[in-house]
Chain A
């Protein structure tokens, strides 16, 4: 066994440039693969951050249509409902349209009760609840724009015209890496009072209700009960679990996700072709050596092991380096893409997939050369020209 390993290592060192370059190719491919998988994960980040005890009730037509605020009181009466809060998409612009981050008008006390993963200090929480024009922002968002508690933040409304100013009263941290730390929350009351003053038809309406239920197993039954209550009303509702709601968003752009997934497979095939070529070249050069080994009595399994071992070693070195490099590169991407993807984190499954892919490439790349060696008889091999 030790002899075999030494032989493989020696073989590997004979073509340092070629094998080094091939390993480099594997590094590039694995980094690209890892980043693409992470991008797909980032697409599903909203789904990852959901809880089974939260339902979302929205207008059955689409999210473009709001629901009357008084629906909340009726939802609260349904058996199994513990807390009802609501959320309204604001869609404002901070200084420049490029500075995108999600902004929501909420009912603060009930919302924070439902989203316990948003960690706020008691003092800041109280300050946020107290100030009608107060705002609560995620840690990453605050860092991105260098805000401090007490800062005035103006937002230019696109759905609700005009300039709206908020005072930053609190910063929340996520309980774990799955929590989105780029959101901006403020009091729905503030929005509603202004809309009432304008005599807008949009006053007294909210984007969606967030319904906290117990036990979570009754989600389907409670959802149906909520929707039945509003059937044939002016604004029929559609209630689903928070996860189903978030998945709906992913489905809407799933064609793009599919493209990214396909492309992440393509890079693996590309590097497979590169490694297969390298192995084919090495084996061709060593045709006579393999014939000699065969003549000495080494079985085809031994020869196959030598070739597969060499290919695996090249791909494993490249794969290990690639996985190690994926982390710092992904961290850099996470900072640059935080506008678009609040969570960009290399998951364990990505690492496992990347490791699996590099091993698979090693084995598959050796298949063709091994077959060639198996096929070649001793005499043919010995008589071949180098």
Chain B
């Protein structure tokens, strides 16, 4: 014989303030849990969508970020001549030698400094990144002191808006366009002509060479070629892999921090649930006795109270997820430790995170309800009925 679910639900509803206070505690833990997961998911997604699988990134051996890498013109010419490089319909080789530098720019308003990525590239470099379009204005003209700013940069940094100008390399650079880079990391970059940047920063070398693969299977051939050519001290990575790796340190940090916090915070919330459920059992001692006398077995009592605490946990979980989902409209901009460059990303809520959060809430509810439910189930019928 089972006690209907309604019994558990009605009991929670009857003690409204206690239920609410406990659920708020649980909800806040779920909120922290979910937002940290959303933060690392947002960061991961941004970097995963930045790279394409069919592009190959060539960097100096041993460098983990583009800014650490340098490739001299001879080596980059060798790489650009690889037969694995795809050709455009008009016969142009789809390869881009690029220069990447960091520049400190003050944020609008607060004037606080941040490292912004400047990427020097060619027309082909733009073609290799079809996910990046122009939101406003026009592209920079090759051979000119013109630049285009990512959508995440234009609004947030002084001098990066359309029509404004930035000063570096003893020149003024006019912002002629704004990039719409979707959710990719390119939205946090400023693009200009690579040869103009090389002159301005007095760099002979490039940072990286990017090219489109002729066929997906050619990647291994490229690797083999790099390993056997004694002139080359570079290594190849798929662009998608390269960018995905750049989120690792931050994602690990956020995940470790988030999980530690969630576990510790959940202790406090579980204690809240425990208190509430002990209270529920104590104030209903006679009721439990009556249920037992009516013939409900111990197991039914146990299940009824476990259901009650699970419902309590889920209420907190739903509340917490609702609170966390409001964070989706917030964009975080911070320095990525692996690249030292500013990167903007949003809190991203996925069905998996919702599921994990609710499961976490349910677990907290069950943990809080286990001991009180056991106490309720173990009660002696006569003693319970006689209780004041």
A residues bordering B, Cβ < 8 Å? 17-18, 21-22, 24-25, 28-29, 31-32, 36, 60-65, 91, 156, 158-159, 161, 201, 232, 234, 236, 238, 248, 251-256, 259-260, 263, 266-267, 269-271, 273-274, 276-278, 280-281, 368, 386
Q: Which of B28, B169, B340 contacts A269 (CB 8 A)?
A: B28
Q: Which of A62, A65, A273 contacts B272 (CB 8 A)?
A: A273
Q: Are A277 and B170 in contact (CB under 8 A)?
A: no
- Whether B276 sits at the interface, judged by CB under 8 Å, is yes
Complex formed: what's the CA distance from A62 to B341 in Å? 11
Q: Which of B24, B39, B332 contacts A273 (CB 8 A)?
A: B24
Which chain B positions have C-beta within 8 A of A277? 17-18, 21-22, 25, 272, 275-276
* Stretch of B111-119, B129-137, B221-229, B354-362 contacting A (4+ beta carbons < 8 Å): B111-119
Q: Are B268 and A274 in contact (CB under 8 A)?
A: yes
Q: Are A270 and B103 in contact (CB under 8 A)?
A: no
Complex formed: what's the CA distance from A252 to B115 in Å? 8
Q: Are A28 and B28 in contact (CB under 8 A)?
A: no
Q: Are B18 and A61 in contact (CB under 8 A)?
A: no
Q: Are B204 and A201 in contact (CB under 8 A)?
A: yes
Q: Are A64 and B101 in contact (CB under 8 A)?
A: yes
Which chain B positions have C-beta within 8 A of A65? 101, 201
Q: Which of B32, B168, B272, B342 contacts A263 (CB 8 A)?
A: B32
Minimum CB–CB distance for A371 against chain B, Å: 12
Q: Are A32 and B334 in contact (CB under 8 A)?
A: no
Which chain B positions have C-beta within 8 A of A24? 271
Q: Which of A28, A91, A281 contacts B267 (CB 8 A)?
A: A28
Would you list which residues of chain B between 1 and 52 have a CB under 8 Å from chain A? 17-18, 21-22, 24-25, 28-29, 31-32, 36, 39
* Stretch of B60-68, B144-152, B178-186, B288-296 contacting A (4+ beta carbons < 8 Å): B60-68
Minimum CB–CB distance for B346 against chain A, Å: 12
Complex formed: what's the CA distance from A62 to B39 in Å? 27
Q: Are B334 and A25 in contact (CB under 8 A)?
A: no
- Whether B231 sits at the interface, judged by CB under 8 Å, is no
Q: Which of A22, A64, A266 contacts B28 (CB 8 A)?
A: A266
Complex formed: what's the CA distance from A245 to B23 in Å? 45
Which chain A positions have C-beta within 8 A of B25? 270-271, 273-274, 277
Q: Are B265 and A255 in contact (CB under 8 A)?
A: no
Q: Are B21 and A32 in contact (CB under 8 A)?
A: no
Complex formed: what's the CA distance from A107 to B101 in Å? 27
Q: Are A266 and B265 in contact (CB under 8 A)?
A: yes
Q: Are A22 and B265 in contact (CB under 8 A)?
A: no
- What are 13 A-B interface contacts by the 8 Å CB criterion? A61-B104, A234-B202, A252-B115, A254-B112, A266-B265, A267-B264, A267-B268, A270-B268, A273-B24, A273-B272, A274-B21, A280-B18, A281-B18
Complex formed: what's the CA distance from A386 to B285 in Å? 13
Q: Are B268 and A29 in contact (CB under 8 A)?
A: yes
Q: Are B29 and A270 in contact (CB under 8 A)?
A: yes
Q: Are B101 and A62 in contact (CB under 8 A)?
A: yes
Which chain B positions have C-beta within 8 A of A236? 170
Which chain A positions have C-beta within 8 A of B175? none
